[in-house]
Amino acid sequence: MLSKFVRNTAIATFLTLPVVSLLGVHSALADRRDVTVNNNTDLVMTALYVSSARSDNWGPNRLSHRLQSGETFELRFNNNSTQCVYDVKAVYEDGSYDRNTHNLCQTSTLYYYGYGGENR
């Protein structure tokens, strides 16, 4: 009876190790600057630009598709930068935009509200 218990415990432990390892790998691959962009405006978000707060250039549009009202987008980083503070510009279908500076190491979601952006 004891040997059957030991065998079952060993099998259960062996089977859970790969799951624990995979969870550890996923956490190690996640960048602390990764954020969810939440479009709660009344407009479609057509572009999302992210740049270093020290940069004069926006770089490419980071959206993979037009972000409809109520949709979210996972913004991922895949470089080895230790920088946390970024300028983020959300552009809407009417040409208006929101531009803010965010510490992406201290937030997990960027929320956009209202009817379009505060700037034209």
The secondary structure of 1-33 as a DSSP string is -HHHHHHHHHHHHHHHHHHHHHHHHHHHHS-TT
pLDDT band at 114; cut points 50, 70, 90: confident
pLDDT band at 8; cut points 50, 70, 90: low
**DSSP H/E element including 85:** strand 85-92
User: What per-residue confidence (pLDDT) applies to 26?
Assistant: 40
User: What per-residue confidence (pLDDT) applies to 29?
Assistant: 62
Dihedral of CA 53/54/57/62: which sign? Answer: negative
User: What per-residue confidence (pLDDT) applies to 120?
Assistant: 80
User: What per-residue confidence (pLDDT) applies to 21?
Assistant: 43
The more confidently predicted of residues 68 and 28 is 68
Look over the chain and give the mean of its residue pLDDT values, rounded to a whole number.
83
| Cα 76 to Cα 56: distance, rounded to the nearest angstrom | 21
Residue 52: pLDDT over 70: yes
User: What per-residue confidence (pLDDT) applies to 4?
Assistant: 58
